[in-house]
Amino acid sequence: MHHNGRMLGVIGGSGFYTFFESGTRDVDVDTPYGRPSAPVTLGTVGGREVAFLPRHGATHEFSAHTVPYRANMWALRKLGVRRVFGPCAAGSLDPANGPGAVVVPDQLVDRTSGRADTYFDSGAVHVDFADPYCPTLRASIKGVTGLPDVVDGGTMVVIQGPRFSTRAESRWFAAAGFGLVNMTGYPEAVLARELEICYAAIALVTDLDAGVTAGEGVKAVDVFAQFQRNMGPFKELVRAAIGRVTDERTCTHCRPHTGVTLPVNLP
């Protein structure tokens, strides 16, 4: 187990099931919340220790509403990870950001239901979540050059899934000023905050959502195909962002428990 806090984490989304080229080892991690989506793969990127976990499992066994989010984030922290990138697929509510665009959201809206979204079922612990993403990790992504242009900021609305939005829902979300639709961004982000893990989402746009333009609507086969077409450059962008992260963690934004007695012992 690594506990120096320097290991970085990557949680890969739909189609993002592997990350390293060679020199890896898999680690089975058990947690109080069950087993994570898959064994955690440990490797290096540019000399940096990285732990990779496919969000949906090695072969996409878990749909968005069944992902073991609590086990996933707990397992990474148990291995010593304190900073996590969360690449994901997303639909766009803005025609200016079409398929292939990469967006680093700065806000989210939760429209999920019934998901286990806290480690604190007792103790009345309240976590600051006004700004759900780590500004330091977001800056490392925004500074990447020579790869797909990165759109800075935007609100990602997280829906329950596994179905896609109706046209009316898409129009409603767009009218509210949201820029992206996704199914996995919550509770992943808030669980990271509860564990005092820095977390930043990186959204690869795979489609324009159903209510944005006239057409047949969103189809899963098209979403996966678009994600695969952009997977190479997308992984390179994540690797480049890792290379911009400092060895020592300096962020204080993602440490909300100062002076608070927690009802559970964090790993």
- Catalytic residue set: 207, 209
Q: Which residues touch 116 (CB under 8 Å, ≥6 apart)? A: 33, 69, 70, 187
Closest CA to 111 of 67, 169, 57: 169
Annotated binding site for substrate: 183, 207-209
Known binding positions:
14, 55-56, 183-184, 207-209
Question: SS3 breakdown of the chain: % helix, strand, coil, rounded to 5?
Answer: 25, 25, 55
CA contacts within 13 A on the Cβ side of 6: 10
Residues annotated within a binding site for phosphate = 14, 55-56, 184
**Contact in structure between 150 and 237 (CB atoms under 8 Å):** yes
Q: How many Cβ atoms are within 10 Å of 222's Cβ, its own excluded?
A: 14
Query: What sign has the CA pseudo-torsion 20, 39, 118, 157?
Result: positive
Residues with Cβ within 8 Å of residue 217, at least 6 apart in sequence: 164, 167, 210
**Quick one: tokens of 224?**
């996966």
Alpha-helix runs per DSSP H in the chain: 69-78, 135-142, 167-175, 185-194, 220-229, 231-243
